[in-house]
Amino acid sequence: MKGLGELRRAIEKRGIRMNRRLWITITGAILMSTLTAGGATAKSGSTKKSSFGKGPDGEQVDLYTLSNKNGVEAGISTYGGVVVSLKVPDRTGKVGDVVLGYDSVDGYVNDKSYFGAIIGRYGNRIGHAQFTLDGKAYTLAKNNGENTLHGGLKGFNKAVWAAKEIPAKDGQALELTYLSKDGEEGFPGNLSVRVVYTLTDSNELKIDYSATTDKETIVNLTNHSYFNLAGPGSGDILGHVLMIEADKFTPVDAGLIPTGELRDVSGTPFDFRKPTAIGARIDANDEQIKLGGGYDHNFVLRRKAGEAISLAARVVEAKTGRVLEVWTTEPGVQFYTGNFLDGSVHGKGGISYTKRSAFCLETQHFPDSPNQPKFPSTELKPGERYHTMTIYKFSTEK
Ligand code: GLA
């Protein structure tokens, strides 16, 4: 940079006579930017874009790495809008990955576990792959026995999303958009979907989901991250201690479709109102536990009056001291303990993903809502805007 005296002479030569206040403002601004560049003030966040490979039809797939001022990092792929990695500190400050996934896009193209993906048009199951809306019957793709799971044969997890970095007051934000065409997987209406991931400087991954339609439809979006707070490959998650803010859950039948009952959790293995190890009752002699092969159930979240976003769940991992809080505007959360993982899938760094080596907390409307008149509605009409928000917040405990 030129000397300050030289700079002043250059500016004055252009006919701008400077008063003292203007000069102080200019030199102050120069000083601030020099200090920031030199690292004398707090580190700020950044977003980097790199290639993640090619999609199944040769489409370019990108990986965006969002970092905050604390060195927390979130890797997001345009394929499936997947959270590929989430690196957060343990109690000693050591940053490590806490989600399962793959090293490249091919893993996600072949994936059947929905690791880290955006799920749509309908998160979880729709019984018999059908529903009626406004007197009209719709038939969906069947991809889970007789039922539709997570949007059908090609859900939003298999779409390449358009990505754009957008400004955020509280961190680094990435906007993903996708147009789900009228009739896709059997769903009515052109659904225009927008998901914004924000990595905040308070170590939160905030997910804003919104959608509009041109025909009456149903929509239920979520994210399917598999967490292991001790890190993928560190064994099972049975020792993680979980609290869920739910007095009730939705029992299921043999096809994991809710029966319609909202059952009290008291005296059942589903009572997580007090922090309890995930493994404490996971093999209990309980009909619902047996049907799920462990936990694979929707919990009915408590709502505090007047609170737009509420705490849904809190998980603590004792060895690392890592704590995950899940906050959401949604009425439910699917707690799934990776019962279908069987070690046959090899993920990041070649790690084999074994049974119950991760858990999911998928915030959502209840499964099969379109066929359950007593459940909160998942209908969306033209002119309305679907909007939900979920925050995964990380911290540590002694
Ligand atoms: C959800 C379902 C599970 C399973 C996983 C993905 O959590 O409820 O039954 O399908 O997704 O494997």
Residue 224 among the catalytic residues: yes
Residue 395 has pLDDT above 70, yes or no: yes
Ligand 1 centroid, distance to 339 Cα (angstroms):
9
pLDDT tens per residue across span 100-129? 999 999 999 999 999 999 999 999 999 999
Residues 392, 287 share a domain? yes
> Which residue(s) pair with 144 in the sheet?
147
Q: Which is nearest to 76 in space by CA: 44, 105, 56, 54?
A: 105
Ligand 1 centroid, distance to 123 Cα (angstroms):
9
Q: How far is CA 76 from CA 192, 339, 354, 388, in A?
A: 20, 25, 24, 19
Q: Which ligand 1 atom sits nearest the alpha carbon of residue 296? A: 8
Ligand 1 centroid, distance to 91 Cα (angstroms):
31
Of 38-42, 150-154, 248-252, least confident by mean pLDDT is: 38-42
Alpha-carbon Rg for the chain, nearest whole angstrom, is 24
What is the share, in percent, of the chain residues with pLDDT greater than 90?
Answer: 88
- Interaxial angle between packed helices 20-37 and 4-13, expressed in degrees from 0 to 180 and rounded to the nearest 10: 130
Residue 362 among the catalytic residues: yes
Residues 263, 186 share a domain? yes
Residues 124, 15 share a domain? no
Token look-up 């601004």 returns 29
Q: How confident is the model at residue 303 (pLDDT cuts 50, 70, 90)?
A: confident
Residues 120, 8 share a domain? no
Of all protein residues, whose CA lies closest to atom 6 belonging to ligand 1?
113
CB of 336 closer than 6 angstroms to any ligand 1 atom: yes
Ligand 1 centroid, distance to 101 Cα (angstroms):
15
Residues 260, 197 share a domain? yes
CB of 226 closer than 6 angstroms to any ligand 1 atom: no
Ligand 1 centroid, distance to 328 Cα (angstroms):
20
CB of 185 closer than 6 angstroms to any ligand 1 atom: no
Structural domain including 273 reads 46-396
Ligand 1 centroid, distance to 297 Cα (angstroms):
9
First to last CA, the chain: 47
Ligand 1 centroid, distance to 256 Cα (angstroms):
9
Q: How confident is the model at residue 22 (pLDDT cuts 50, 70, 90)?
A: very low
Q: How many domains does the chain have?
A: 2
> Comparing 118 with 30, which gets the higher pLDDT?
118
Among 150, 224, 297, 365, the one annotated catalytic: 224
CB of 334 closer than 6 angstroms to any ligand 1 atom: yes
Residues 243, 376 share a domain? yes
Do strands 276-277 and 241-244 pair parallel, antiparallel, or not at all (unpaired)? antiparallel
Q: Which of 252, 253, 296 to mutate to test the pocket of ligand 1 (most atoms within 8 A of CB)?
A: 296
**Sign of dihedral through CA atoms 300, 304, 306, 307?**
negative
Of all protein residues, whose CA lies closest to atom 5 belonging to ligand 1?
113
Q: Which ligand 1 atom sits nearest the alpha carbon of residue 367? A: 8
Do strands 322-328 and 95-97 pair parallel, antiparallel, or not at all (unpaired)? unpaired
pTM: 0.90
Residues 152, 172 share a domain? yes
CB of 115 closer than 6 angstroms to any ligand 1 atom: no
Residue 15 has pLDDT above 70, yes or no: no
Distance CA(234)–CA(21), nearest Å, equals: 59
Q: What is the 3-state secondary structure (H, E, C) of the chain?
A: CCCHHHHHHHHHHCCCCCCHHHHHHHHHHHHHHHHHHCCCCCCCCEEEEEEEEECCCCCEEEEEEEECCCCCEEEEECECCCEEEEEEECCCCCEEECECCCCCHHHHHHCCCCCCCEECCECCEEHHHEEEECCEEEECCCCECCEEECCCCCCHHHCECEEEEECCCCEEEEEEEEEECCCHHHCCCCEEEEEEEEEECCCEEEEEEEEEECCCEECECEECCCECCCCCCCCCCCCCEEEECEEEEECECCCCCECCCCEECCCCCCCCCCCEEHHHCCCCCCHHHHHHCCCEEEEEECCCCCCCCEEEEEEECCCCCEEEEEEECCCEEEEECCCCCCCCCECHHHCECCCCCCEEEEEECCCCHHHCCCCCCCEECCCCCEEEEEEEEEEECC
* pLDDT value of position 141: 96
Q: How confident is the model at residue 19 (pLDDT cuts 50, 70, 90)?
A: low
What value does the mean pLDDT take over residues 172-193?
98
Residues 52, 30 share a domain? no
Q: Over the range 284-314, which residues count as b (16 or more CB within 10 Å of their CB) and which as e? A: eeeebbebbebbbbbbbbbeeeeeeebbbbb
Among 150, 185, 362, 365, the one annotated catalytic: 362
Q: Which is nearest to 223 in space by CA: 29, 49, 388, 30?
A: 388
Residues 31, 176 share a domain? no
Q: Phi then psi for 100, rounded to 5 degrees?
A: -80, 155
Residues 18, 80 share a domain? no
CATH code: domain of residue 332: 2.70.98.10
Q: Which ligand 1 atom sits nearest the alpha carbon of residue 149? A: 10
What value does the mean pLDDT take over residues 310-324?
98
* pLDDT value of position 79: 98
CB of 124 closer than 6 angstroms to any ligand 1 atom: yes
Q: Which of 82, 111, 122, 124 to mutate to test the pocket of ligand 1 (most atoms within 8 A of CB)?
A: 124
Residues 10, 109 share a domain? no
Of all protein residues, whose CA lies closest to atom 12 belonging to ligand 1?
113
Residues 159, 21 share a domain? no
CB of 250 closer than 6 angstroms to any ligand 1 atom: no
